[in-house]
Amino acid sequence: MVASAPTASTTDRYTRIATPVDDLILTGDGTALTGCYFVEHRHHGAPSDGLERDDDAFADAAAQLGEYFAGERTGFDLELAPTGTAFQQRVWMQLREIPYGATCSYADVARAIGAGNGFRAVGLANGRNPISIIVPCHRVIGADGSLTGYGGGMDRKRFLLDLEAGTLPFG
């Protein structure tokens, strides 16, 4: 089963915030964040279609993302409720264990969740992560250390990894 972008039945609010890598759409149900998408995201359509805009509902998430992009935050403290299969949920939980500034391979994630050689399935689940950046799918790279696909685009993946490595020129 392939996860899709949340619909109005599971997510009823959204906001749009500006970031150094493009605008992000945040979606939620009033209690938890259900999505964090780039406006042009490979695996998700327009996740705000049919939702009510509510900037106040996402003030904490927007503030934490602002701190992250300013280099002042290395982790997030937000209620999350991504929609996906049981396998996808396991992968996304494991992604949250990858430390800020670190990377690992798809095979590393597969082994960590007890999926043995399921690195391809991990790659598919990683690509369907509905909560970009906060659930750090950008930290997963190829076994040879190369950058591999990213739903938000390779330029954004490189930017996020450089941000976390402290190699971006600020100011």
Catalytic-role residue among 95, 110, 137, 163: 137
Q: Are 81 and 43 in contact (CB under 8 A)?
A: no
Tokens at 109, concatenated = 């994630």
137 catalytic? Reply is yes
Residue recorded with tokens 């670190």: 102
- How far is residue 158 from each of residues 109, 154, 155, measured CA to CA in Å? 20, 6, 5
Distance in angstroms (rounded) separating the CA atoms of residues 85 and 104: 22
- How far is residue 84 from each of residues 26, 150, 165, measured CA to CA in Å? 17, 18, 30
Which residues are marked as active site? 137
